[in-house]
Amino acid sequence: MDSAQLAALFDSHATELAPALLGCELTVTTAEGSVRVRLTELEAYGDQGEDPGAHSYNGKTMRNASLFGPPRHTYVYLNYGIHRCLNFACHAEGIAGGVLLRSCEVIEGRDLAIQRRGGRDTGAKLLSGPGRLGQGLGITLPMDATALRIDQLGEPTQIPDDQQAAQFVLEPPETPLAAKRIRSGPRVGVSGPGGGGTFPWRYWIEGNPSVSVYRKGKNVPTDVRG
Tens digits of per-residue pLDDT, 45-99? 999 999 999 999 999 999 999 999 899 999 999 987 788 999 999 998 889 999 9
Strand spans (E) along the chain: 25-30, 33-45, 74-79, 83-89, 98-108, 148-150, 167-171, 182-185, 202-205
**Taking 70 as the threshold, does the pLDDT of residue 135 lie above it?**
yes
Which position has the higher pLDDT, 176 or 167?
Answer: 167
Burial of 28 (0-12, 13-18, 19+ CB in 10 A): buried
The DSSP call for residue 37 is E
CA distances from 73 to 47, 89, 98, 112 (A): 16, 5, 10, 24
pLDDT at 153: 53
Residue 148 has pLDDT above 70, yes or no: yes
Domains annotated for the chain, with CATH where assigned, are 3-179 (3.10.300.10)
Global pTM value: 0.93
How high does pLDDT run on average in the chain? 92
Q: Which residues contact 212 (CB under 8 A, 6 or more apart)?
A: 41, 102, 103, 128, 129, 188
Confidence of residue 108 (pLDDT cuts 50, 70, 90): very high
Query: Does the pLDDT of residue 208 top 60, yes or no?
Result: yes
